[in-house]
Amino acid sequence: MRAAVIGSGNIGTDLLIKMIRGSGAVTAAAMIGIDPESDGLARARRLSVATSADGVAGLIALDEFDSIDLVFDATSAAAHHRNAAALAPYGKRIVDLTPAAIGPYVVPPVNLDEHLDAPNLNMVTCGGQATVPIVSAVSAVAPVHYAEIVASIASRSAGPGTRANIDEFTETTSRALERVGGAARGKAIIILNPAEPALLMRDTVHCLVDDCDTERVAASVRAMAESVAAYVPGYRLKQEPQFRRIREDDPLARLAGGPRTGGGARLLVSVYLEVEGAAHYLPAYAGNLDIMTSAALRTAERLAERSPAR
């Protein structure tokens, strides 16, 4: 598949380099921005990739536009609504790296194959890509009444686009914990950590379940972590999943939606993650951005597997 990237910032540029370094299933055909002096557009030109600084209108005007099968949008949630509307008449597939969520939420190891025919696939958020797989792994063993995630990222890795999407991050990630992860209720929190030197992305996942087989839960979490690490090599568990029994009179039990029939114990499952970036373009501490571009490329490669050869 031939692909264009809209957005010549950190995420778009990292994605461009990943395509060029990748398997060849997805070819970088164009990079589009709005700043003609951006480093992303300059790198694309040096790599003989077609460019335009006129936004989505510039993409449509390119000679290469008709040959493009897929468009990655690495702009912002607000911009994606405009870009998707502009591209709709041309029937281009879109992989959306913003929290706009026009199309279905997609987390590759959880539900990618369910949405391969969707015209617009949404990559949720960095926190969603890191934590939804874990919630899904827990819910595969025991119903998750409540899931709460805390994503801590280096402040230096949060550029203008990330900061513009903070509100959408919490809303989109919370919904994805429910719709994709399987939690009855989800809550997402993001922390921009100003520490110097910059710290790697860390994610904490809490799942409230009924008493269950903890060994099966732990095995499911480990297997899912391996699945994510297959395309995000820096994704890892910081320690084995932790379990704590909670009685009905504990305030946490209220998050499960009321008392259990017959009483008994609840179980709090806690999983601690770290995501280190591959440092293709972004620093290694920017795992929050790396997991987004890696998930987007994995999605596009899977789409390419189903597409007829040109």
Q: Which residues are annotated as a binding site?
A: 8-11, 157-165, 288
CA distances to 8, 126, 205, 275, 285 from 152, rounded to whole Å, are 25, 10, 12, 10, 11
First to last CA, the chain: 8
Distance CA 286, CA 150 (A): 16
Burial of 89 (C-beta count, 10 Å sphere; 0-12/13-18/19+): exposed
- Give the DSSP letter string of 185-251: SEEEEEEEE--SSPPPEEEEEEEEEES--HHHHHHHHHHHHHHHHTT-TTEEESSS-EEEEE-TTSG
**How does 3-31 read in b/e, with b if 16+ C-beta sit within 10 Å?**
bbbbbbbbbbbbbbbbbbeeeeebbbbbb
- Report the half-sphere exposure of 272 (CA within 13 A, side-chain side): 6
Q: Are 13 and 81 in contact (CB under 8 A)?
A: no
Nearest to 149 by CA among 231, 208, 218: 208
Q: Are 134 and 263 in contact (CB under 8 A)?
A: no
Q: Are 141 and 182 in contact (CB under 8 A)?
A: no
Residue numbers in the known binding site for NAD(+) are 8-11, 157-165, 288
The three-class DSSP label of residue 118 is coil
Check if 126 is active-site: yes
Q: What is the helix (H) or strand (E) element at residue 146, kind and residue range?
A: strand 144-154
Catalytic residue among 126, 207, 228, 289: 126
- Catalytic positions are 126
